[in-house]
Amino acid sequence: MNKSLIDWSHQEFSNLPWRKNRTLFRTLVSEIMLQQTTVSTVLNHFERFIQEYPSVEHIAKATNEQLTVSWKGLGYYRRARNLKKACEYFHENFNGEIPLNFDLLIEAPGIGEYTANALLSIGANQKALALDANLERVLSRIHGIKEQKGPKLLKLLKKKFDEGEIAPDIEKFGPRKFNEALMDLGRNWCKANKASCDLCPLSHDCSAASSGRPLDIPIRPAKKSGDISFNLVLLRLLFFKDGHIYVYRKKESEWLAGQYEVPTFTLQCEDSNFSQYPFLDFSDHHFLPEYKTLITKYRITNKVLVVNDQDLKQLNVDPSLYQLKPVDANSNLSTATMKAIQLLK
């Protein structure tokens, strides 16, 4: 590790809100928010969320529905439910404190190895390596470890860390600054598809840079059939009555569990195993302008139709199938449902 990298990281990124007024709780929230979400997105939501839920207890006592509303804009709502489970556990078992012990931390639901190590290293400045995708990539490049990205590589990096072979100077720089600097490096210069070795202060000590082919490390897994994406066409029905939009609540087993959606049908799907929405044989209607969304491996074209009671009957939409209920605009509506409603404005 190089002091100029630590200084660059501190100078450029110490203003990130979760790096100020550091507490374990703020670290827990920010680390869970930052998983699979960009820094710029989290910047728009972190302080607002913390003001709404200033402690473990506030999150533990919130309902899942309240939390999903507050999580809006951050996506991947399962993380909000996991955060709540972890806070409930800390509230019940540790009086709302977050224990500073790896074995106790990973006992908590919703806390995996990465988050436990992030809490120790970044939250409490204790010796630990928070091996996220950035650290996995940067450390394997610096040390020239030609292993496939994934569990085997993470295990190898951890073993080398425990044996002092990698990051031997972590305590010299401080575990917090060390981890943060590597994360910043991975996010800005040493990216998966572009390595700016000319700008990187580690270029003289980096095995991948001296090989001239930094992007070859770590080895990327071959594409599996599961990586294929599918085109999907959905029909969204806007049914208004007495100034309310009628929606149904998504079940735990469905996409966007706990959120409200307008009745939705599958018109076409390239994936014959798709079962999130019932199929409807339907065409020849005047739809509102369509919009695109993306969820997991599905590229979705959303067609929207405004309907009345009569239309619902003609379409054979069984209201009991959806248990439709009226809600107002402040309810926990899915993003796709909000986009459909906005077409009318």
Q: How far apart are CB 184 and ligand SF4 at their closest, in Å?
A: 12
Which CB, 137 or 236, lies closer to ligand SF4?
Answer: 137
Which CB, 211 or 268, lies closer to ligand SF4?
Answer: 211
Question: In the numeric block, which tokens belong to residue 198?
Answer: 């000319």
Angle at 72 between CA 71 and CA 77, to 5 degrees: 60
Which CB, 196 or 308, lies closer to ligand SF4?
Answer: 196
Set 31, 88, 136, 261: catalytic member: 31
Cα–Cα dist 329/292, whole Å: 21
Residue ranges binding ligand SF4 (CB under 6 A): 138, 141-142, 189-190, 195-197, 200, 202-203, 206, 208-209, 214
Q: How far apart are CB 88 and ligand SF4 at their closest, in Å?
A: 40
* 138 contacts 195 by C-beta, under 8 angstroms: no
Q: How far apart are CB 165 and ligand SF4 at their closest, in Å?
A: 17
C-alpha 248: how far from its chain's center? 25
Q: How far apart are CB 332 and ligand SF4 at their closest, in Å?
A: 41
Which CB, 192 or 338, lies closer to ligand SF4?
Answer: 192
31 is catalytic: yes
Q: How far apart are CB 215 and ligand SF4 at their closest, in Å?
A: 8
Which CB, 110 or 214, lies closer to ligand SF4?
Answer: 214
* Active-site residue list: 31
